[in-house]
Amino acid sequence: MGPFARPPLRAVLFDRDGTLIRDVPYNGDPKLVEPMPHARDVLQTLRSMGIAVGVVSNQSGIGRGILTTEQVAAVNLRVEQLLGRFDVWELCPHRPQDGCYCRKPAPFMICGACRRLGITTAEAAFIGDIGADVEAARAAGARGVMVPTPLTRPAEVDAAPEVAVDLRSALCLLMKAPSGRAAS
């Protein structure tokens, strides 16, 4: 391993809405949870390789009074029923204007997930669908991969260090040594 090489990948953390499941704004209804293409297969592959998986998600609907913590918990339970158990969950319930330290693009939730998993942030990757996701990964010292959706702003895609067309391509990208920006 060279002086600037990353240590082996020990965890992949995911944004929830728009990355693991289809984004339904402020969803409090478990019946509306629909996995993104390849999500289950990618998670099963990672688990079979002994790589921990987790979810790091801003859930401002709680702070806005649109969702209860119980509704978010019910949606998260449905996510696990469809995609399997996650090793760690980190959620920020605050609104953007609250000035909290945990909301992405701040690195706190990624750092917290890694701490709970007993790994360094350099041993983790974070996959998300917007600029705040890859900014949080960078700030934490984790590898960030963007899987954009049609709602992702083009400037955010352009600024992302690594971009993949879907979760399967993101997994392939992570299994290769980082080489800067790559489109799959």
Of 76, 184, 181, nearest to 134 by C-alpha is 181
Whole-number Å distance between alpha carbons of 156 and 131: 5
Q: Which residue has the tokens 């953007």?
A: 96
Q: Which of 15, 41, 98, 166 is catalytic?
A: 15
List beta partners, residue 144.
126
23 annotated active-site? no
The terminus-to-terminus CA distance of the chain in angstroms comes to 25
17 annotated active-site? yes
Q: Residue 182 corresponds to which tokens in the numbers above?
A: 């790559």
Of 140, 183, 141, nearest to 165 by C-alpha is 183
In this structure, how many other beta carbons lie within 10 angstroms of the beta carbon of residue 41? 13
Sheet holding 52-58, edge to edge: 88-92, 52-58, 11-14, 124-128, 143-146
- By annotation, the residues acting in catalysis are 15, 17
